[in-house]
Amino acid sequence: MMRALTAGDPAQVGGYRIVGRLGEGGQGVVYLGEAPDGRRVAVKMLGTGLDAPDARTRFRQEIGYARRVKAFCTAQVLASGELDGLPYVVSEFVDGPSLAEVIRERGTLRGAELRRLAIGTLTALSAIHQAGVVHRDFKPGNVLLSRDGPRVIDFGISRALEESESEGDHLVGTPPYMAPEQFGGRPAGPRADMFAWAATMVAAATGTPPFGTGDVPALINRILYAEPGLGGLDDELRDLVARCLAKDPEVRPTAARALLGLLGHHVPEQRLLAEGQQSATPPPGRPPGPGRRWWLAAGAVTAALAVTAAVLLTRSAPAPGARTPASSAAPVPAPRDGRMALTSTAESKIPDTRITLYENAADPVWVSSYHDQRDGTGYPSYVRDAVTGRFGYFGGFEEPIVSPGGGYVASLSATRLRKPDFETVLIRERATGQDRHVRTVDKPDTLFHPSWSADGRRWLATVVEDREQDRVVGFAIVDPVAGSVKVTKVVGGSEVRFGWGADDRSVVYGMPGGAVRVLDLDGRPVRTFTGVGELYAGGVAGTTLGSVFATKCPKISVNVCFWDAESGGRKGEARLPAGGGYHGWLDDAHFLATVPDGKNTDVVLADATGRTVRRLAIGPKREIARVVLWFTRK
């Protein structure tokens, strides 16, 4: 519960407005803060009475430990610094009661709810231990139950594994949840966290920790010598909890091994945390993205490939000197110019799939991220490292799209659909690794169909008011450098999606009856073209045919027609093989297409007539349909 600020509390810390007090502990005070975009955060600051040099050093070390931990079922660290010589750390604010509060006020957990708690907390401990950190005070009060599942918090007394664990006669932890070795002066490593985890699960299921509470000497004696009380703990958890409560720490399983056991099936090591987090997420009122797909796009700016839909997102690279001035001094990398090579020189597998990429180092466009929508995968997303070319895990239920030039990643999380007040988009600056959540639209509005501008400086999305009816009411443009957003309300219709217009100074969208309309960035109509056919969503591309948009041809809908973005005159027509799909331009002479190939689907480079000139990828039809590949200019 938030409490009022006192006279000595700061009004602002590191750009975050301080709203109230969340708590006070042995190291300092935790405040509720508010970011400039309205997002709430937790700000922990070293107490003024603990400002000795060694206390400041320990606090800074704790910040370093917390930064090591990947944000899987934990509260993510967002920033850190010092205010008047006192160090502070800013982390994600987890909006939800603690497990201790839930047990006290509502009672014990059962069935699927208890299982999600067990999986989520094991996921958090796996992430903590992978980072070389021991929590050392795991208990119901340090587990928060958010809408997105359990989160483990408070690394206030965590320690790096390589540090000395000797604490002399000083007990570190909360006695009912402490392992036997912590009372005997022995090192308290990750296996002590597993003992505390098991004790917490017993408390969640029965209302009381396995060795009770009360007089500390008697409690310690029971922990050292007595058998634990497991109450009516379900069979699925009972055996695991019993092993984790073993007196000998070497008998207890690791967090990762325990998590694998609860998941019940083999999970590759690199995806274990994502699988655990997804399995711990409570089912929403309706599945993420109801009745819609994670839309794909393709083009010289950013392109995605998913055969569940054919959505164009394509722009040519800007001409030299045509780039918009940056809104800050931070440099934004320019996208690479040039055309795709006509032959491939290397092939590689998309990790954990049967999709093969065929690439050439000279290509100005490559697969920069992908999102796995297959059932049972946890819906993880991966982003490619610009130097090594390897794909690294980005998050579960995220839609990361790398900007042209690779300066930023923008991601919409599926969890935004459950938020009651407003939405944010995650913007990651890749040079620094800094994340910002930019506030976008207020509910009931939500965003879909994102795309980057050609120069990688602005991000566009369609604003939908009614997800049931897909009622589109406008578009939003985010400036990642300035962290600003502009929402323009203009239309009320269904199945509309906005794309960038010519030179990114306008937007386009399709209208009923085969019409296409161009608006300026303030939402004012510029021109309307009638009778051109159903628009391939995404926008205008600069090509050898001129600046064109693409539609399903009015008379032969299996063909792709290209129309001049200024006059509306027809500039060309492409014929694809039977069952083929158009996915937007990759350079000024070639577009991306999919072609059936027996049980597989070919992803190919095609010229303006639809003739295939090179294979870019191949994979089983179902995988190509459910693993969204985003192509971006390097």
Q: Which residues contact 302 (CB under 8 A, 6 or more apart)?
A: 313, 368, 401, 402, 403, 404, 451, 452, 630, 631, 632, 633
161 and 215 belong to one structural domain: yes
Q: How many CB atoms lie within 10 A of CB 189?
A: 17
256 and 316 belong to one structural domain: no
Whether the pLDDT of residue 538 is over 60: the answer is yes
286 within some domain: no
289 within some domain: no
The predicted model gives 75-91 an average pLDDT of 83
423 and 457 belong to one structural domain: yes
Task: Quote the domain boundaries for residue 79.
Answer: 12-92
141 and 274 belong to one structural domain: yes
321 within some domain: yes
Q: Is 397 exposed, middle or buried (0-12, 13-18, 19+ CB in 10 A)?
A: buried
Is pLDDT larger for residue 469 or for residue 302? Answer: 469
pLDDT band at 58 (very low <50, low <70, confident <90, very high): low
pLDDT band at 300 (very low <50, low <70, confident <90, very high): very low
Whether the pLDDT of residue 154 is over 80: the answer is no
Q: Do residues 305 and 631 touch, judged by C-beta distance below 8 A?
A: yes
Q: How many degrees, rounded to 5, is the angle at CA 24 between CA 19 and CA 26?
A: 150
269 and 310 belong to one structural domain: no
The predicted model gives 353-374 an average pLDDT of 94
Distance between CA 327 and CA 325 in Å, rounded?
6
Is pLDDT larger for residue 374 or for residue 320? Answer: 374
pLDDT of residue 495: 76
| Of residues 482, 478, 484, the one with CA closest to residue 463 | 478
Is pLDDT larger for residue 9 or for residue 544? Answer: 544
256 and 375 belong to one structural domain: no
Specify the CATH number for the domain of residue 337. Answer: 2.120.10
pLDDT of residue 1: 65
pLDDT band at 380 (very low <50, low <70, confident <90, very high): confident
The predicted model gives 129-141 an average pLDDT of 89
Q: How many CB atoms lie within 10 A of CB 11?
A: 7
Whether the pLDDT of residue 289 is over 50: the answer is no
37 and 108 belong to one structural domain: no
pLDDT band at 301 (very low <50, low <70, confident <90, very high): very low
Q: How many CB atoms lie within 10 A of CB 1?
A: 8
| Of residues 379, 361, 384, 438, the one with CA closest to residue 36 | 438
265 and 345 belong to one structural domain: no
Lowest mean pLDDT: which of 144-153, 275-284, 354-363, 513-522?
275-284
The predicted model gives 151-175 an average pLDDT of 55
pLDDT band at 51 (very low <50, low <70, confident <90, very high): low
The predicted model gives 507-529 an average pLDDT of 95
pLDDT of residue 291: 29
pLDDT of residue 59: 67
Which of 32, 60, 92 terminates a domain? The answer is 92
104 within some domain: yes
| Of residues 56, 33, 35, 58, the one with CA closest to residue 43 | 33
Q: Which residues of 503-524 are buried (b: 16+ CB within 10 A; e: fewer)?
A: bbebbbbbbeebbbbbbebeee
Q: What is the mean pLDDT of the chain?
A: 83
The predicted model gives 487-498 an average pLDDT of 86
Number of domains in the chain: 3
380 within some domain: yes
187 and 107 belong to one structural domain: yes
333 within some domain: yes
Query: In this structure, what token pair is assigned to residue 378?
Result: 């946890």
Specify the CATH number for the domain of residue 220. Answer: 1.10.510.10
Mutual angle of helices 111-130 and 272-280, in 10-degree steps:
150
550 and 618 belong to one structural domain: yes
Is pLDDT larger for residue 578 or for residue 236? Answer: 578
Which of 26, 59, 92 terminates a domain? The answer is 92
pLDDT band at 570 (very low <50, low <70, confident <90, very high): very high
Specify the CATH number for the domain of residue 32. Answer: 3.30.200.20
The predicted model gives 439-454 an average pLDDT of 93
545 and 577 belong to one structural domain: yes
Catalytic, out of 9, 84, 95, 137: 137
CA 403 vs CA 316, 456, 632: distances in Å: 13, 5, 7
The dihedral over CA atoms of 52, 50, 86, 97, expressed in degrees to the nearest 10, equals 150
Whether the pLDDT of residue 53 is over 80: the answer is no
Which of 280, 315, 338 terminates a domain? The answer is 280
The predicted model gives 15-38 an average pLDDT of 84
5 within some domain: no
The predicted model gives 121-144 an average pLDDT of 91
Phi, psi of 447 (to 5 degrees): -110, 145
288 within some domain: no
CA 46 vs CA 31, 38, 86, 133, 184: distances in Å: 11, 24, 6, 20, 30
Look up 235 and say whether it is catalytic.
no
pLDDT of residue 413: 86
272 and 196 belong to one structural domain: yes
Whether the pLDDT of residue 307 is over 70: the answer is no
pLDDT band at 27 (very low <50, low <70, confident <90, very high): low
Whether the pLDDT of residue 322 is over 80: the answer is no
